[in-house]
Chain A
Amino acid sequence: QSALTQPASVSGSPGQSITLSCTGTSSEVGSYNLVSWYQQHPGKAPKLIIYEVSKRPSGVSNRLSGAKSGNTASLTISGLQAEDEADYYCCSYAGSSTSVVFGGGTKLTVL
């Protein structure tokens, strides 16, 4: 099954805004508004932070926002904080035969 492409690492300074990309194809990201994002701190389980492209679960900071254009989804974190340092994974529904695919993850470093 195909997988989504994410940059391996991104860094930013406290207070800055950064955008993480997630590139797929017309078979998943481009066809369905079912892109989700997960934050994972070392040794912890992933945590849902964005679903259905741009919706935030209850309790998730409004500094996080999601969007999609064509086959590429993005996650923007504004006002970077030290606690944002983590791995971020994107995920997309990919149809009935494949079901879901994940990106390889982006390690966010807050300088």
Chain B
Amino acid sequence: QVQLVQSGAEVKKPGASVRVSCKASEYTFTRYAMHWLRQSPGQRLEWMGWINAGNGNTKYSQKFRGRVTITRDTSASTAYMELSSLRSEDTAVYYCARDIVGEILGGVIDAFDLWGQGTMVTVSS
């Protein structure tokens, strides 16, 4: 069925980087934008950025700019999120989510209609 399947939990030390993958199934991967969001324990959801899977265009939240990189492999229908210079405050569940409209034009974000199961990233020394 139509789904997004993310990679497994990660434990990282402060200062390290983490890469989370998100594999899409049963829809045309390149017709949609993929977003990355995170949810720290007991906190609100935070949007991190998106990538248009077709042309590779990206946009990042100002909060994460310089530390986050979103890429995709169209042959594998997979999106990736890499977060660098990790600190304890980055401990969170990270989600990929598809944009309901499809490809993002003009930077307008509508809604997130299909979500991955989440990947727990723990940053601890």
Contact = CB atoms under 8 A, between A and B. Distances in A.
Interface string A84-107: 000001010100111111111100
A18 interface: no
Interface of A: 1, 3, 34, 36, 38, 45-48, 51-52, 57, 89, 91, 93, 96-105
B103 to A, nearest CB: 16
B45 interface: yes
B110 interface: yes
From DSSP, what is the main secondary structure of chain B's interface residues?
Answer: loop
A93 B109 contact: yes
A51 to B, nearest CB: 4
Contact of B44 (A34, A45, A97, A102): A102
B117 to A, nearest CB: 6
Contacts of A105: 44
Interface of B: 44-47, 59, 61-63, 95, 97, 100, 106-113, 115-118
B80 to A, nearest CB: 18
Given A34-B108, A47-B115, A99-B59, 7 more contacts: A38-B112, A51-B110, A57-B100, A57-B113, A89-B45, A93-B109, A102-B44
Contact of A45 (B106, B110, B116): B116
B107 A51 contact: no
A1 B109 CA distance: 16
